[in-house]
Amino acid sequence: MAEKQKTLNGPVELTGVGLHTGEQVTLTILPAADNHGYKFQRVDLEGQPIIKADPDNVVSTERGTTLEEKGGRVYTTEHVLAALYALQVDNALIQLNGPEVPIMDGSSKPFVEGIKVVGLVEQEAERDYFVLTENIKWEDPEKGVEFLAIPDNNYRVTVMVDYNSPVLGTQHASMLDIRDFEKEIASCRTFCFLRELEYLADNNLIKGGDLDNAIVLVEREDISQNELNTLAKKLGKENLSVTYEGIGTLNHTALSFENEPARHKLLDIIGDLALVGRPIKAHILAARPGHNGNTRFAKVLKDQIKKQENQGKKFDLEKEPLYDTAAIEKMLPHRYPFLLVDKVMEITEDTIIGVKNVTMNEPQFTGHFPGNPIFPGVLQIEAMAQCGGVFALSKVEDPHLYSTYFMKIDNVKFKNMVRPGDTIVFELKLLSPIRRGLVNMGGVAYVNGKAVMSADMLAQVVKDRTE
């Protein structure tokens, strides 16, 4: 059954401070129309500019991902985008009355909880997955960052981090299914090392930083109280202390998971790759990732989407068909010249792929555009309907006793001409479950991987013969 896009069932409002700007900001996530995607809006600026969540709009990756478009800039976008993507929200408008997404507790959990409260609503448009068809490798040798994306039926992420730290060492984290994000990844907080903290404080890079919204990892066991007191003054704190429970942390902050730093890096990858603009079916493997590498790899994936679209959709027509012409004749009450499906390649729970070879010796070409043979659009529709008929009859016992009859055809679009010599591949998917013999399917016809026709069809399966 075709998977539909989703948006929020109502607004989500959160208020907090920006980690780097220190400014109080209210963020409101609003429902958005089909195919809207993720967009930010700075309602505090003149003209209320909208900034699309797109890798081409990344202007900085210093301690977070910053987007800018049309004079509007928004900082630290990754945690809210990770929450939206992981909960499979396809369309949302994220309004802010300040320059930075509030850091909240340093994770995606507050955003996830807000979204869960209002819930989601299904929309009319189908989810348009980016299904990776080949391995994609990218690396930055200078920074030691490596990414590899490999084809997969789901969205999986595997991360390795190595900070040359004697305390943290090498950590790994993985997410086998996007549905695991809420429980396993969402609560994992941003972090930094104590050695970085003084530099960040001196350069006003964490004006909104607090030990409630970040984990500070301590690598030295010999750090003195005088050093901690000096740092406390710079951070505006009364006192600081260190606890050592496996990994040293400032002010007794306990880790949610032993590998929480690696899990947070995985969270950041999900948020940054949400900029691709499509739900992804691939396994992403990353070594020593950061926002710079994440967003650059997002551009690589965006380019791969364009490449695959230009190549067209690929079908394996060399494999053994599920049904040949003889088998199809046992199911459909059609014969030459009106049997318009030559073979069926596969049938799944909600999909069928069928094939029609268009040849010059078919009778319609005698009178249809003589001298300029074009396969008639009505016959394209009929061929697609026959594929749908095979799908419907494959779901009943004794299919030779049944027929399928048209009830409705909607949204028919002809995109390119089909000529003799072309092979049409029909791909149809259920738009809703089969009930009371009613079969509602949406189909696309392809020639050389490019769509030539599409339509939605409703038919009824009727038992009208006996043994």
Give the tens place of pLDDT for each residue, 150-168.
999 999 999 999 867 666 6
pLDDT of residue 246: 47
Residues 66 and 53 in one domain: yes
Q: Beta-strand (E) ranges in 271-418?
A: 280-287, 343-347, 351-357, 402-414
Residues 160 and 239 in one domain: no
User: Are 124 and 268 part of one and the same domain?
Assistant: yes
C-alpha to C-alpha distances, 208 to 15, 19, 94, 201, 438, nearest whole angstrom: 13, 4, 21, 10, 58
- The continuous run of DSSP H or E covering 112 comes out as helix 109-118
- 216 with 202: CB under 8 angstroms? no
Same domain for 205 and 140, yes or no, is no
Per-residue pLDDT tens digits of the chain, which is 467 residues long: 668 999 999 999 999 988 777 789 999 999 999 999 999 999 999 999 999 999 999 999 988 999 999 999 999 999 999 999 999 999 999 999 999 999 998 899 999 999 999 999 999 998 999 999 999 999 999 999 999 999 999 999 999 998 676 666 788 999 999 999 999 999 998 877 766 666 666 666 555 455 566 667 666 665 667 766 666 666 666 666 656 554 545 545 677 788 888 999 999 999 999 999 999 999 999 999 999 999 999 999 999 999 998 888 889 999 999 999 999 999 998 999 999 999 999 999 999 999 999 999 999 999 988 889 999 999 999 999 999 999 999 998 888 888 899 899 999 999 999 999 999 999 999 998 999 889 999 999 999 999 999 999 999 999 887 77
**Catalytic residue selected from 20, 79, 291, 334:** 291
| Domain harbouring 129, CATH code | 3.30.230.20
Q: Which pLDDT score is estimated for 207?
A: 55
**What is the spatial distance between Cα 404 and Cα 289, in angstroms, rounded to a whole number?**
54
Domain match, 16 and 119 both = yes
Nearest to 232 by CA among 224, 243, 221, 244: 224
Look up 79 and say whether it is catalytic: no
| Domain identity same for 238 and 292 | no
Note whether 281 and 388 are same-domain residues: no
- The structural domain count of the chain equals 3
Angle (CA) 34 39 45, round 5°: 135
Is there a single domain that holds both residue 20 and residue 87? yes
Between CA 380 and CA 454 the distance in angstroms is 10
Query: Do residue 171 and residue 272 come from a single domain?
Result: yes
Q: Which of 267, 59, 96, 290 lies closest to 182 in space, CA to CA? A: 267
pLDDT at 237: 63
- 354 contacts 441 by C-beta, under 8 angstroms: no
Residues 224 and 304 in one domain: no
Domain contains 318: no
For 431-447, the pLDDT digits (tens) are 989 998 899 999 999 99
pLDDT at site 127: 93
Cα separation, 223 vs 391, whole angstroms: 70
| Three-state DSSP class for residue 126 | strand
111 and 20 belong to one structural domain = yes
Q: d(Cα 181, Cα 158) in Å, to the nearest integer?
A: 13
Q: How far is the C-alpha of 463 from the C-alpha of 240, rounded, in Å?
A: 79
| Domain membership flag for residue 337 | yes
Please give the residue range of the domain that contains residue 432: 325-463
Residues 330, 336, 339, 342, CA torsion sign: positive
CATH of the domain at 382: 3.10.129.10
In whole angstroms, how large is the CA radius of gyration of the chain? 28
Catalytic residue among 264, 334, 368, 400: 368
- Distance from CA of residue 114 to its chain's centroid? 20
Same domain, 292 and 343: no
Closest CA to 312 of 456, 129, 133: 133
Q: Can 283 be counted among the known catalytic residues?
A: no
Is 317 inside any structural domain? Answer: no
* Domain contains 298: yes
Single residue among 241, 275, 310 that ends a domain in this structure? 310
- Report residue 193 as tokens: 């090392």
Looking at the domain assignment, is residue 320 inside a domain? no
